[in-house]
Amino acid sequence: MRVNSGSIVWMVWMGCLAMVACACSATGALAAPADDLLQAESAALGDGASSLWRAQDIGSSDIGGIRRDERTGPRNMGQKIKAGLLSLVLPGAGQYYNGDRGKALLFAGAEGAVWMSYLVFHSQAQGLSDDYREYAEIFAGTAGDHTEKYWRAVGRYMTSDEYNESIERQARAELEEPTGLITMDEAWFWRSEQFRTNYQILRADANRAYDRRDFTVLFALINRAVSVYDAVRGAGGADHMLEVAGFGFDVESRRVIGNRGTACVFTRPF
């Protein structure tokens, strides 16, 4: 364990205070109050002094005691949890709760843009799906609503008879009864190979629109996660995300041996 010179001076100074307090307690000659001793320590050590400590009863040799947090703003885990939950429900709400209106508008605006894009791509995908189904109805004779498997088969085979023959061959090879055959009500027959190719292009466009729609959900999750992290970190005016028993906890992005990653960092002031 590495001990710097400041820590050594601090320990020596506290040891001296303890010995003085014990001696004065035994003789009853302690005249300086606790605050005077702490002021003397602060004058001698400056930033290294234990200014965050309040003496309880120096006359009884009980130096130290209760840690007093002097930073602005409360360090309250309840506030952090509330801010995080608000941003989880609506990105930016936690920042608004923390009083950071600028970030609140940023995260809320990003959330609105993401879901607006989702609705646009969904509408495009629905329209393109209707297009390729109407196209198949006109040039291949399909009718009614069907499963995705059916529409995929329509694009792969010129006729429903070809599809049924493929299913029967596979069933014979596996010594099983054929299932999922196309009935007369579901039959199709493309007028030419070009019409089938055009149908495949329309289906590909619709599938890409659905992929873009689904991809926006990933951005929504990222925006929500970042908003929750920022709200928890900014709640309560704390320097750390969490502090327990004097140990500060943070999640930081660091570069280790040339590779950037996320690290959990624990700190302890002395």
With respect to residue 201, please indicate whether it lies within any of the assigned structural domains.
Answer: no
Which of these three, 68, 102, 121, is where a domain ends?
A: 68
pLDDT tens readout for residues 87-113: 999 999 999 988 888 889 999 999 999
Whole-model pTM: value is 0.53
Range from 77-81, 131-135, 234-238 carrying the lowest mean pLDDT: 234-238
Give me the pLDDT at residue 78, please.
80
The separation between the first and the last C-alpha atoms of the chain, rounded to the nearest angstrom, is: 14
With respect to residue 248, please indicate whether it lies within any of the assigned structural domains.
Answer: yes
Which of these three, 35, 68, 101, is where a domain ends?
A: 68
With respect to residue 52, please indicate whether it lies within any of the assigned structural domains.
Answer: yes
Give me the pLDDT at residue 3, please.
44
Give me the pLDDT at residue 81, please.
87
Give me the pLDDT at residue 251, please.
52
Q: Which of 231, 214, 186 is nearest to 92 (CA)?
A: 231
What share of the chain in percent tops pLDDT 90? 41
Helices (H), the chain: 5-27, 34-45, 77-89, 93-98, 101-139, 148-156, 160-173, 193-234
Count of domains observed in the chain: 2
Give me the pLDDT at residue 100, please.
87
* pLDDT confidence tier of residue 264, bands split at 50, 70 and 90: low
With respect to residue 17, please indicate whether it lies within any of the assigned structural domains.
Answer: yes
With respect to residue 177, please indicate whether it lies within any of the assigned structural domains.
Answer: no
- Distance between CA atoms of 177 and 170, rounded to whole angstroms? 10
Range from 79-83, 166-170, 259-263 carrying the lowest mean pLDDT: 259-263
* pLDDT confidence tier of residue 119, bands split at 50, 70 and 90: very high
Residue 209 has pLDDT above 60, yes or no: yes
With respect to residue 93, please indicate whether it lies within any of the assigned structural domains.
Answer: no
With respect to residue 225, please indicate whether it lies within any of the assigned structural domains.
Answer: no
Give me the pLDDT at residue 63, please.
43
Give me the pLDDT at residue 60, please.
45
Average pLDDT on 180-190 reads 91
Give me the pLDDT at residue 19, please.
53
Residue 204 has pLDDT above 90, yes or no: yes
Range from 45-59, 61-75, 97-111 carrying the lowest mean pLDDT: 61-75
139 versus 268: the higher-pLDDT residue is: 139
With respect to residue 10, please indicate whether it lies within any of the assigned structural domains.
Answer: yes
16 versus 134: the higher-pLDDT residue is: 134
Which of these three, 68, 89, 111, is where a domain ends?
A: 68
Asked whether 169 and 155 are in contact (CB, 8 A), the reply is: no
- Distance between CA atoms of 259 and 217, rounded to whole angstroms? 28
- Tell me the residue range of the domain where 264 lies: 239-270
| Range picked from 33-42, 59-68, 216-225 for highest mean pLDDT | 216-225
